[in-house]
Each structure stands twice: as C-alpha cells, then as structure tokens.
Amino acid sequence: MSTVTLSLSEAQTLLTAVFEASGVPAASAASVSRALVAAEAEGQKGHGFSRVADYAAQVKSGKINGMAHVRVENRAPASLYIDADHGFAYPALDAAIEAGTALCKTQGVALMAIGNSHHCGALSIQVERLANAGLIGLMVANTPKAMAPWGGREAVFGTNPIAFATPVEGHAPLVIDLSLSKVARGKVMAAKKAGTAIPEGWALDANGAATTDPDDALGGTMLPIGEAKGTALALMVEILATALTGSAFSTEAGSFFNADGPPPRVGQTLIAIDPGAQSDYGARVAELLSGIAAMEGARLPGTRRLAARAQAEAHGLDVPTQFVEQARALAGLT
C-alpha cells in the first residue's frame, strides 16, 4: 500500500481545511482535526484519517450538526452535563475537560456527562489530558450496537470502550484504553476500506460463524474480551454512558460509518479525581509501575502507544495515499 508522509502540523492543517470546507466553524474544525491526528499518531488508525470522508459526508447530510453549540450545565456541586447538540464529540469533550478540570480542583472530584454526542475516537487522548493536569481520569462511551450479550446472537452493546489515566511522578502519565470487544470496530472498517482481511477471532458473521471478511463482520457481531466478563463490563459502560447522560442506547444509535439517518445521540461519561490530598500519590504509583517494568517479559500498558507517538513526532505520519488524496479533494486542494 502506498503512503504519503505528513508532519503532524501538515496533517492537522489538511484535516482542519477539510472540515472548514464542509461548513464547520474554525474552532470546531480544529478540535476534530487535533483528535484525529493525535489518534493517527498513536497508531489508532481506525480513529484517524480513515474517518475523515465519513465525517465530512455526515456533516453534509446533517447526521452531524456541523454548527453545533455546546452547552455546559452545572447539575450538582461536582457534576456537569454537557450537551453536544448532535455535533462532533470533540468540541464537547474540550468543553467538558476544561470545565471539569477546574471543578475537580475545587471539589476534589468532577463528573462530566456528555449527551447527544457522536463518535469520540481514541479515549486515551481525553483521559491523558486530565492526567497532564494532575488528575486521575476515567472515561466510558457507548457506540452503535456491535456486540451480543454473552450467550446471545443479537447485538445489544457497542464495543463500549473504557479508559483510565493517572499522573506518575517523574514519568509520563500511565494511560489505559481498551475496547470491550477484542478489537475496536473501527479496525474492521479500516480493513474493509483497505481491502484486507481481518484476523480470525475478531468477529462473527450474521449466522454466528467465525469470519475473516470485514463485510461479514460488520454485518455480524464483534467478540468480547474475557467472554462473559467482557459483556458484563459492556453493560456497565452502557448504563454509565446512556442512562446517566440521557443518550441513545447502542441499539438505538445509528452508524458512525455512513451518512444515512438521524444523529446517533450516543453518550460519554468522564470522572476526574484530584489525588492532591494524598501527598505521595504520584510517587506510590511510580513505585508500583517501576516494579512491574523491572519484571522480565512484563510490559506496561501504553508502551507501544508512546513509541508510536514519538516516531510520529520525529518522522511524521505515513498515511495511505488514498486517504490523503481524498482529504485534499474534500478540502478543495486538488
């Protein structure tokens, strides 16, 4: 597959131009492009350039409200509700983290419930922002249905990711980000767009049979991590991301991948905790992690993510040529 190498700044400028050309205001366009480029830099290809054409088409059709006005409301001393107004998730996440960080510093904890939202990409990016502010961050999100309850064959849950980040004294934050399916569904879509097969064990087709065909996988269900335990966690995330935010259940949400239908109205919930009262918190975390890192064969979560980002910062992003050409056409640059 041929690729084009872009610096991070070049990639962000290009994608910002795409969304501005689609009619999205400059600030929101920059917010979306930052998140997509950051995901691409981490190696999260399913949340990067592969999403651009789908996003632009959904703005054009009205499935994403490109002119959304994000509203932040205090519902309790340590609780915020953020209405994404059927727009991109990223400006709503920016508003949530800005307001939630300030609230957490005064209250010790802050809950940020985002409703009427859309695909939120790599959760790692968002919780890391909280950790960089000295806070412990937790985040959950629901996505359109893709995974059946354990023992069932009909999709009820999305891949429903969960993420965690914490400050570590003397080191970069520890960041854990995982989909509750064996892989994020975006990886299956990325394989479909690239015309490649998926590994066996990722998904089942509509008849419940194992498949390596991304089309059959997208028409079937994703397999959970940890079997029944994975779907139990998916149920937990579903409740926290939907019932708590007033958003659509995964069974009600429209696809993130096409421009048909109404806005998906999914939800995201973030929790920030200020560890400041525990004065040796960062050192204690560092002690725990250093012990794990010293074990032969052990690897801390996020190691590959940090290495991928360092590589991207030093040498740029190798983006499939088809995605770069597509973005340039959407931006009116060809």
Q: pLDDT tens-digit profile of 212-265?
A: 999 999 888 889 999 999 999 999 999 999 999 999 999 999 999 999 999 999
> 68-97: per-residue pLDDT in tens?
999 999 999 999 999 999 999 999 999 999
What is the DSSP code string of 159-187? ---EEEEEEETTEEEEEEEE-SBSS-HHH
What is the pLDDT at residue 293? 95
Please give the average per-residue pLDDT across 302-323, as a whole number: 96
What is the pLDDT at residue 287? 97
Residue 154 near residue 148 (C-beta atoms within 8 A): yes
Whole-angstrom Cα distance, residue 15 to residue 31? 10
Please give the average per-residue pLDDT across 96-125, as a whole number: 97
> 122-152: per-residue pLDDT in tens?
999 999 999 999 999 999 999 999 999 988 8
What is the pLDDT at residue 277? 72
Whole-angstrom Cα distance, residue 112 to residue 186? 25
Identify the burial level of 232 via C-beta atoms within 10 angstroms of its C-beta, where 0-12 means exposed, 13-18 middle and 19 or more buried.
middle
Nearest to 220 by CA among 207, 232, 233: 207
State percent of the chain over pLDDT 90. 86
Q: Is the pLDDT confidence value at 270 over 90?
A: yes
Q: Is the pLDDT confidence value at 189 over 90?
A: no
- pTM for the model stands at 0.93
* Interacting residues of 97 by C-beta distance below 8 A, sequence separation 6+: 112, 126, 129, 130, 270
The larger pLDDT score, comparing residue 193 to residue 242, is at 242
What is the pLDDT at residue 243? 97
CB atoms within 10 A of CB 13: 15
